[in-house]
Amino acid sequence: MEGGVSFWQALALSSILGWVVAASWFDLTKRIRSLAQPWVTRRVLADTPSILWLQASHSMRHGFLDCIFSVLSCFVSVPFYTGFLPVVYWSGHRKLARQMTLLMAFCDYIGNSIKDVVSAPRPSCPPVTRVMATNDEKGNAMEYGLPSSHCLNTVCLLGYMLHHFLTLGAETDAIIPVAFLGLVCLLIISIGMGRMYLGMHSLIDVVAGIIFGLVILALWLMIHEYVDDFITSGQNVTSFWASLSFLLCFAYPTPEFSTPSFEYHTAFNGVAFGLVGGIHRHLHPQHGGNPSLFSGLPVVVFLGRLSAGIPTMLVVKFCSKAVAKWLLPVMCNTLGIPITSSRYVPTLKGSQGSKSKSESKQSGRLLPHKAYDVDTGIRFLQYAGLAWSAVDFVPALFARLNL
């Protein structure tokens, strides 16, 4: 029936709900952790000498290599991709941008879930020296180690980008794909070595990141066309994705100690929802096609889009956060839902002081908590607004400005 919930949608949502119930009743996270954490921890300790060997040359550590590996890590970090993907979208590669964004959200959820399930430590500092040149790296250092998100994301996103351009159908010399594949492999190896050199990961973290990345990439290449058809021309897209986003917040595992990983997942969960809702609304009347507005783009027009688009996205993000900070507490109080806030709403801070951060901010249990952290909803709506503006509001602005 048109507009009805399809079998696969009902099956997907009920499966996630079933996992949440089973994980809560049988305490599956702790059971898995009790098996995996001791083994991974032993491997991290065994890998310490190899990290110390990489860091042994102090004359190089405080100069060239510190700079190279730090910059390289920045260029494959989540904040970089957050800014890079809208640029890809505005340049005309709409399908590539939306697929890479959803893949990034998928990688972020899987990678951070594994981190918090295993709750394995990063290399001990000291004796390992940790090089944290940016605030992003300082945040990463507060997360658990296995797997390396940088390696996992690099394998998935560069692998998908390579697949996308190789399947465009253009006639190219056989040596070009081989050369690109070689560059991708070299970059992955460099990222892995860099994460160890900077003292952020052990060899087991890097290897796990690459393996999980290859598995996720293979899975995504099997389903990406179905996903794209669904978000551009499917039924119940926005309502299904809203339900999926809600359930994924509860399906996220509770770590041994609180980490920023759940915050990162919430942000990209919001990005995925905002992108899907914006793309479906914008493309559905055109039956999933790419508007001619984004084809044959002159350099001057592209630069104009950057000048108009990036500030507009930041304004929408700020406004989304402000509206959410006002609206969500009002809605929760009206519905009688107990809430607290660790950052965004000062009047709610400390209202549940006896509740630990791990209990209030991390989900993974179906049973009600004493209070829910309203910051999760605020963060979700903030980043949903950011992604929606990139794929719907900003392109409409470009049309108005003849860009």
* Contact partners, residue 247, CB within 8 Å, separation at least 6: 13, 16, 17, 20
Helix (H, G, I), strand (E, B) or coil at 340: strand
List the Cα angle 48/54/56 in 5-degree steps.
95
Note whether 99 and 164 are within 8 A (CB). Answer: yes
Which value, to the nearest 10 degrees, does the dihedral of the CA atoms of residues 159, 163, 165, 171 take? 140
Q: Is 224 one of the catalytic residues?
A: no
* Active-site annotation holder among 58, 163, 201, 280: 201
Q: Is 62 one of the catalytic residues?
A: no
- Residue found by looking up tokens 């900077």 in the block: 198
Note whether 190 and 196 are within 8 A (CB). Answer: no
Burial string for 152-191 (b: 16+ CB within 10 Å, else e) reads bbbbbbbbbbbeeeeeeeeeeeeeeeeebeeebeebbebb
Name the strand (E) or helix (H) holding 296. none
Closest among 400, 216, 192 to 293, alpha carbons compared = 400
Write phi, then psi, for 340 (nearest 5 degrees).
-140, 170
Report the interhelical angle of 149-166 vs 94-118 (nearest 10°): 150
State both tokens at 360: 């209030």
State both tokens at 51: 């990290």
- Residue found by looking up tokens 């594949």 in the block: 181
* Active-site annotation holder among 93, 150, 265, 282: 150
Rounded distance, CA 65 to CA 60, Å?
6
Name the strand (E) or helix (H) holding 290. none
Which residues are catalytically annotated? 150, 201
